[in-house]
Chains A and B, each alone.
Chain A
Amino acid sequence: MDHAKPVGGKIFTPPILFLSLLFLIGFYFLVVRYIYGIGSVSNLSHHQAWGVWKVMGVLVGAALVNGGYVTAFVVYIINKGTYHRFVRQAVLFSLLGYSFAGFSLAYDTGRYIGLLNFFIPKYMQTNSVLFEVGICITAYILILAIEILPAILEKFMPEGGQQNWAASLHAYLNKILFLTVAFGVLLPTMHQSGLGGLAFLFGQKLSPLWQTPLISLLYVISSIFMGFCIVIALECLTVADFKSKSYVNMLGTMMKMAFYVAILYSVIRWIEIFRNGAAGQAMELSFESLFFWAEWILIVIGLYLVSGQKKLSSPKNLFLGSCVLLTGGILYRLNTYIIGYESVPGLTYFPSLPELMISIGMFALQIIIFITIIKIFPVITKE
């Protein structure tokens, strides 16, 4: 059923070398951070304790790599086997994204050795949303690793179907796949909602344009349309098998799902905005309302680009639409944790260059690893 093959080709291409340079710059600042502390490289401060590292690295990052969640859902729960060709690439991207989210916590947290306390019973604080998110993401990284393992094992399996250790492990993993997949759907639902739930405890420090008891629900829903969008955008970038009609059809169908989920998200968002009495605030001219409307302009343009069957069969619209919707989802997260968050009136936050470079450098490393793996291991299916 799988025709996944390694992409092949040279490992060190010019884009990879450029990304490596970005990584090295980030790595330099990372060393500085570990020697002189968080304040030496970042603009994090008492009034904005969470900046790009946490918000881009974890909150946005986790939603951006949600492809593993939606593909597992479509293939194994709604039972659409043909969509299986999208699973491996999405799961690999998810695995990398989540691992890097975990790693970004190691330089974002001020007392990183204390991160181990998440796993020591006497320190576990089960009332905490952050505890739930931490445990859930750790467990999910494990599940994603198990989901991607077959692709690695196939590299070591003998030709012609003989048995060896890799083949028997491969067969075993296939047997328990339903158990793995169920975790692969449950865990992201839990932590994606938790990532929103974190903001609920901010209370009035978060603007009523974003603050709502339903923020957990909104984060799950938005992470689902973002998951579809990232699968589509990635496919357009790496596989781009547009000559195959069934392939474009499948992308279109996934986009349609994203479309309806994004509509559902918008409806709930607006009900909550009116219920909060924040509609007036949206009309005022302010920094916050500017970003609020930027968020909605992106969502509306994204929805427009993929509305209707004709646009859904155009690869250009699919790619653009998914990118614009993704940006809208990213901005929603930035707005919740940075723009709409205000602890001291009048004080703002913008990341410093070294702080940004660490995030960009880590993202570059993630892309390098991703491209290298799809060149060596059978991840991508192309007809």
Chain B
Amino acid sequence: MDIKRRSFLKGIAGAGAGVAATPLISGTALARESYKLQDEHVGMLYDNTRCVGCKSCEVACKRANNLPVEPDEALGIYDAPRDLSEKTMNIIKMYKDEDETAYIKRQCMHCVDPSCVSGCPVSALNKQPNGIVTWDADACCGCRYCEMNCPFNIPKYEYNEFYGKIVKCEMCINTNLPKHGQPACTEACPNEAVIFGKTKALLAEAKRRIKESPHLYVNQVYGEKEGGGTSVLYLTKAAVPFSKLGLPSLPDYSQASASESIQHTLYQGLIAPIVIYAGLAAIAFKNRSGDKEE
């Protein structure tokens, strides 16, 4: 009394693979487009032709958001973070080769369609109406899925705390922004290398700068399309492409939209699970008496 292969595969097709293969058949019907940049979204424009690497923005960020220092004991420097960390949500990094030096300011990009928000199981990460991506301590369960899925590696969990928080740039939404109308970093910048404003206006400004002096810039505004777009935009000097500044080259759709397209196809209104459950229950019910056979 072997299990017949045919009946087995039939069952698998109905109950197992069927669920997961649905997007292949009907994927387009429920595809979720990448979210679009809204008029009220605010952001920052960073232009490394104007940055002198003074790190005023780093200091201002730590002061405004009450972050601890990261001393470099080997060099005897009071605060010298190497990278973004649970103590540093804004950093100026430098790229250097024989001919060229270029800076890059790193912080949360405030994606238009963020992976962290899409992946967070308990709504701890949220995109506010003004486009800022915030973190909610009461909601978070510390699963660190956001750390895993952020294409820019922004959220940082406090591994050395007994009940750590997730630390990331929130564009000073509770600190400098309500007090002074802009984030601490843009306020502190002496050279307007980083400016704050409505993202759409900043995008127009970035394009104006490229048009005005095309020899000065790489002809691309990083963040206009990358990963479905970000609220923080970058311009870089002609000699140093974005890839050398550690910015990933991303497709022009958001991974969140791709993931949710599959998820919605499977679970929209719980229709597929309910239908399959009913089918399975019916088969099991019919087989009740057969249980004793053979």
Chain A positions within 8 Å of B, measured between CB atoms, are: 1, 34-40, 42, 44-47, 49-50, 73-84, 105, 108-115, 117-118, 122-132, 134, 177-179, 181-183, 185-186, 189-190, 193, 197-198, 200-205, 213-214, 216-217, 220-221, 224, 249, 253, 256-257, 260-261, 341, 343-344
A-B contacts, 9 listed (Cβ < 8 Å): A35-B162, A39-B159, A77-B280, A105-B143, A113-B141, A130-B143, A178-B284, A185-B15, A186-B15
A205 to chain B, nearest CB (A): 7
Identity of the chain B residue whose Cβ is nearest the Cβ of A198 in the assembled complex? B145
Secondary structure call for the A interface: helix
Q: How far is the CA of A164 from the CA of B158 in the complex (A)?
A: 55
Q: Across the interface, which residues of A come within 8 angstroms of B15, CB to CB?
A: 73, 77, 185-186, 189
Flag whether B142 is at the interface (Cβ < 8 A): yes
Take A186-B280, A197-B259, A203-B255 as given contacts and tell me if A81 and B290 are in contact as well, using a CB distance cutoff of 8 Å.
yes
The CA of A378 and the CA of B164, in the complex, are separated in Å by 45
> B177 near A: Cβ within 8 Å?
no
A182 touches B281 (CB 8 A): yes
Check if A112 sits within 8 Å of B148, measured CB to CB. Answer: no
Residue in chain B with minimal CB distance to A174: B288
Q: Which residues of B contact A (CB under 8 A)?
A: 1-3, 5, 7-9, 11-12, 15-17, 19-21, 23-24, 84-86, 115, 118-124, 137-145, 147-149, 151, 153, 156-165, 248, 250, 255-256, 258-260, 262-264, 266-267, 273, 276-278, 280-281, 283-285, 287-288, 290-294
Whether the Cβ atoms of B139 and A123 lie closer than 8 Å is yes
Point out the residues of chain A lying under 8 angstroms from B19, CB to CB.
Answer: 189-190, 193, 220
Across the two chains, which residue of chain B brings its CB closest to A79?
B287
Known: A109-B143, A111-B164, A257-B8. A182 touches B277 (CB 8 A): yes
CB < 8 Å A-B pair total: 245
The residue on B at minimum CB distance from A72 is B284
Report yes or no: A220 in contact with B20, Cβ–Cβ below 8 A.
Answer: yes
Query: In the complex, which residue of chain B has the Cβ closest to the Cβ of A217?
Result: B20
Q: Decide if B17 touches A221 in the complex (CB within 8 Å).
A: yes
Interface centre among A49, A109, A124, A179 (most CB of B within 10 A): A49
Cβ contacts under 8 Å, A80 to chain B: 1, 3, 294
Q: Which of A110, A220, A221 has the most CB of B within 10 A?
A: A110
Query: Residue B121 contacts which of A78, A130, A203 (CB distance < 8 angstroms)?
Result: A130
In the complex, chain A residues whose CB is within 8 Å of the CB of B16: 73, 189, 220-221, 224
The 7 lowest CB-CB distance pairs between A and B, nearest first, are: A110-B142, A39-B159, A114-B141, A111-B142, A131-B121, A178-B284, A182-B281
How distant is A71 from chain B, measured CB to nearest CB, in Å? 12
Determine the distance from Cα of A370 to Cα of B255 in the docked complex, in whole angstroms: 41
Q: Which residues of B contact A46 (CB under 8 A)?
A: 84-86, 147, 153, 156-157
Bound: A60/B21 CA distance, A: 22
* CB atoms of B121 and A49 under 8 A apart: no
**Smallest Cβ-Cβ distance to A220: which chain B residue:** B20
State the CA gap A126–B263 with chains docked (Å).
9
CA distance A186 to B256 in the complex (A): 25
- Of A36, A84, A178, the contact of B162 (CB 8 Å cutoff): A36
B211 → A minimal CB distance (Å): 31
Judging by beta carbons under 8 Å apart, are B260 and A50 in contact?
Answer: no
Contact B294 A82 (CB under 8 A): yes
Residues of A within 8 A of B293 (CB): 81
Known pairs A80-B1, A186-B280, A220-B16; A1 contacts B292 (CB<8 A): yes
Task: Let me know if A38 and B263 touch, CB within 8 A.
Answer: no
Q: Which residues of B contact A77 (CB under 8 A)?
A: 11, 15, 280, 283-284, 287
Contact of A261 with B12 in the complex, beta carbons under 8 Å: yes
Instruction: Contacts A78-B7, A186-B273, A217-B17 known; list 4 others, CB within 8 Å.
Output: A37-B163, A114-B141, A124-B123, A193-B266
